[in-house]
Chain A
Amino acid sequence: MRIIAVLLSLCFSLLAESAGYIGLSIEDSTEFFLLEGKDTVNASTPQYTIKAGYGDIAGYGVEAALSYMDYTTNVFSKNDGAALMLDITLFKGWDAGHALYPYLDVGIGMGNMKVDRELESSLTFSSFNFGAGVRYLIRKNVDFDLGINYKLRTWQAVSLVSEQVKVKSHLINPYIGINYHF
């Protein structure tokens, strides 16, 4: 009962001052890959994201983001390709005055990355992320977005025949973006 009440409250607050928006952002981060109990490797990648969301910039909101990234270091094969990710993020923002809207966010995602291995041509992964940022309203309908995110990714096991290698990765990535509110 309490959970239903919280969800209803969240829905009403979402609808209160809600509006849709679209945006894009870029980031450049270094991701730390950990081979279960063995080696690690760092790989940097720029990431380009387009997103669409619905909610109140000073309240609750939900956002779907489609990102593209291409690591500058080979991680899984000698010819790693690009990755596409879809993230769903919930955020809570506040009106701090002076057109500044700080927020916290948490979300999950999944993606797929092209690799060139004997047994795999692509690998899927899931992710959990949380972060914080601030939006600055340039105009009534446009905000400038600056934030930082922590992501933990769990990758599909890679087969070496004799064993299945499990890989996890994590990264802290700062990003900048711009959103247009309808």
Chain B
Amino acid sequence: MKTELKHSLSTLILAAFMLGCGGTSDSDPLIPEIVSIEIDGTDVNSSVHAIIIDADPSQLTATVTYDDSTSANAADQLDWESNDTAVMTVLNGRITPVANGGTAAISASYRGRLFTTADKNVTITPLSDINITCEQDINVTVDSNDTLYHAEFNTAGDYTLLANGIFEDNMTVSAIGSNIEWKSSNTNVATVGETTGIITIIATGTADINVSVFNDINKTLLIDVNITQ
């Protein structure tokens, strides 16, 4: 019995030795390897406006390059980070300004690893001034100091006030829709939507409608309401 068992084991060991001869070949693996992940910044121009305008390329992209010379966009898969979230935040590569000006470095990582060769510095072009208009046919005037606006209303109802912005680079935005706050000093005469600027004329009287953008730029619209019908 022992002889047969030894013979069988010897056969197996010999076969195992023969199978084990030869190593792993140097062929390319089935799945390519990651070479780098880089934030694409050439189109961002290092600058976005404090209120995003259509012309702003505020979307950063990240390109993964593989060792088979292919590449792919991975902006949605990366964890993006702004080093100053009081200036701007970033999600899936999209920049959202938080302050009226400033610079932040944007980085991206994946599973806690930084692949990018360099952070992307993004600067916010600040808003320098705003003016107030009304979407409906209401005449809005401004004093000579360009600080106090005035309008008259004769009919109760809803009107839409617009805050239009001018940036330091002289670009403009027709209606600011973010980082804006409207307030009425006399809600018996008129109320105003805090972020919408929709004013509801209620009764005869006067009220100050204050608008603030980034808590930084403020303007006041004095309204005279004399309801005649």
Residues of A within 8 A of B (CB): 24-26, 28, 33, 35, 39-41, 46, 48, 70-80, 117-119, 138-142, 144, 158-163, 165, 167, 176-178, 180
A161 near B12 with CB under 8 A, answer no
Q: Which residue of A lies closest to B73 (CB)?
A: A162
Are A161 and B77 in contact, with the CB atoms below 8 A? yes
- Check if A35 sits within 8 Å of B8, measured CB to CB: no
Given A46-B19, A176-B15 in contact, is the A144-B64 Cβ separation under 8 Å?
no
Contact B30 A33 (CB under 8 A): yes
Q: Are the CB atoms of A161 and B110 closer together than 8 Å?
A: yes
Interface, chain B (partner A; CB < 8 A):
1, 4-5, 8-9, 12, 15-16, 19-20, 22-34, 37, 64, 66, 72-74, 77-78, 110-111, 113
Is A138's CB under 8 angstroms from B29's CB? no
Q: Which of A26, A158, A162 contacts B77 (CB 8 A)?
A: A162
A142-B29 contact in complex given A72-B23, A161-B34, C-beta closer than 8 Å: no
> A73 near B12 (CB under 8 angstroms)?
no
Which residues from A are CB-within-8-Å of B25?
72-74
Nearest residue in A to B78 (C-beta to C-beta)?
Answer: A161
Please state if B31 and A28 are interface contacts (CB–CB under 8 Å): no
Contacts of A46 in B (CB 8 A): 16, 19-20
Residues of chain A with a CB closer than 8 A to B72's CB = 160-163
Structural contact, A162 and B27, CB atoms closer than 8 A:
no
Q: Shortest beta-carbon distance, B32 to chain A, in Å?
A: 7
Q: Are A24's CB and B12's CB within 8 A?
A: yes
Q: Report chain A residues within 8 Å CB of B9.
A: 178
- Given contacts A142-B8, A160-B34, A161-B74, whether A26 and B24 have CB atoms under 8 Å apart is no
CA distance A25 to B9 in the complex (A): 10
Q: Are B111 and A73 in contact (CB under 8 A)?
A: no
Q: Are B33 and A78 in contact (CB under 8 A)?
A: yes
Q: In chain A, what residue has the closest Cβ to B75?
A: A162
* Given A161-B74, A162-B74: A178 and B34 interface contact (C-beta under 8 Å): no
**Chain B contacts for A139, CB-based, 8 A:** 1, 4-5
* Interface-central residue, B12, B15, B74, B113, by most chain A CB under 10 Å: B12
